Amino acid sequence: MKTLVTGNLGYIGSVLSETLIKAGHEVTGLDAGYFAHCLLSPIQNQIETKLIDLRNAQGEDLSNLDAVIHLAGLSNDPVGELNKVLTFDINYKATINLAELAKAAGVKIFVFFSTQSIYGISNSDEELDEYNSSKNPQTEYAKTKWLAEQELKKLEDSEFSVVYVRPSTVFGWSPRLRTDIVFNNLLFNGLKDNSIQVHSDGTPWRPAIHIQDLANFVIKILNSPKNAVAGKVFNVGAYNGNYTIKQIAEAAQKCFQTYVPIVLNTEEIQDPRSYKVSFERAKNELDFIARTELTQGGGEVIKKIKESGMDLDTIHNYTTRLKQLNILIDSGKLTKDLYFQ
């Protein structure tokens, strides 16, 4: 299958592209290139990549493809708050334009990476279902993902299928690692500061999934019959993968060979989201279960960071999305509208 991955030079895209190649797909990429240089380890199989801002995508960029996996965008809540207009333009408007171009070019399946952040702050103790549970997006990032989901529904027809993937918070190693997401962040802080800093009382709930399990789920979608996936929404997370922040911190603590203390900063709550998510649909309809445990993935992250030989300050700059974008802006390489000079 001829498959395009947008955002292939990012955290998930680097692993997903490799997984698709190993599964026999003919893979190309489209990426703005913000984080192309942020490599902590070599990429095994380089793919042909068009260095194009998502906002500038044209019809010819989508020609002769069977599938599009759409990852590209401003990728988390802090980055989304950097400039709300830009977040709307990239995560919503450019996404819809890309899907319209894909449909016009004859692409058969468009896999849209949304987010479980659209559930926001849940007052329910029940696990949240894709269709029946309330959506309560708190940030511009989450709001644009939810808007895009609704607009993409209007493009679906018998020739153009859209599949909606709502991943849990991703963790685990990638050659283009991110340390601004919960579990990876706690691991990195443990390495850098010799303490695991939690900016809450540890009680909020957050689901998680290992990056390789998430990539495997995309393969499952592409290999499934059309009627099993077309127009459907899937929460994707680890089996029994709802954890409190304190449990995630305790898992991080177990990944270190020496004792690293957990510090609860209850006066510095940075993220009020709390939700438990159901993964029964992916299990029952696609026979998918993500199995990688936090400690298993966390141990690999620590090992690979040490093997990289890079100093931790450089790794921090490379792996924190907002910090890296500000570095590019301050150096004059990017405009404040996030276009390369």
Q: What is the bridge-based pairing of β-strands 242-244 and 205-210?
A: antiparallel
pLDDT at 70: 98
Residue 247 lies in a domain: no
Q: Residue 293: name the closest of 182, 187, 181, 208 by CA.
A: 208
d(CA 240, CA 330): 43
d(CA 85, CA 256): 41
d(CA 341, CA 335): 6
Residue 31 lies in a domain: yes
User: In this structure, what CATH number is given to the domain that contains residue 225?
Assistant: 3.40.50.720
Residue 64 lies in a domain: yes
Residue 88 lies in a domain: yes
Question: What residues make up the domain containing 214?
Answer: 2-177+207-241+274-294
Residue 320 lies in a domain: no
Residue 216 lies in a domain: yes
Residue 330 lies in a domain: no
pTM of the model: 0.95
Residue 229 lies in a domain: yes
Domain count, the chain: 1
pLDDT at 71: 98
Nearby residues of 80 by Cβ (< 8 Å), 6 or more positions away? 74, 87, 91, 139, 140, 141, 142, 144
Sequence-ordered strand ranges (E) for the chain: 2-6, 26-31, 49-51, 67-70, 109-113, 161-167, 169-171, 196-198, 205-210, 233-236, 242-244, 262-264
CA 188 to chain CA mean position, Å: 18
pLDDT at 265: 82
pLDDT at 232: 98
Q: What is the pLDDT along the chain (341 residues), one digit of tens a residue?
A: 999 999 999 999 999 999 999 999 999 999 999 999 999 999 988 899 999 999 999 999 999 999 999 999 998 666 656 688 999 999 999 999 999 999 999 999 999 999 998 988 776 678 999 999 988 888 889 999 999 999 999 999 999 999 999 999 999 999 999 999 999 999 999 999 999 999 888 998 899 999 999 999 999 999 999 999 999 999 999 888 899 999 999 999 999 999 999 998 877 666 667 789 999 999 999 999 998 999 999 999 999 999 999 999 999 999 999 999 999 999 999 999 999 98
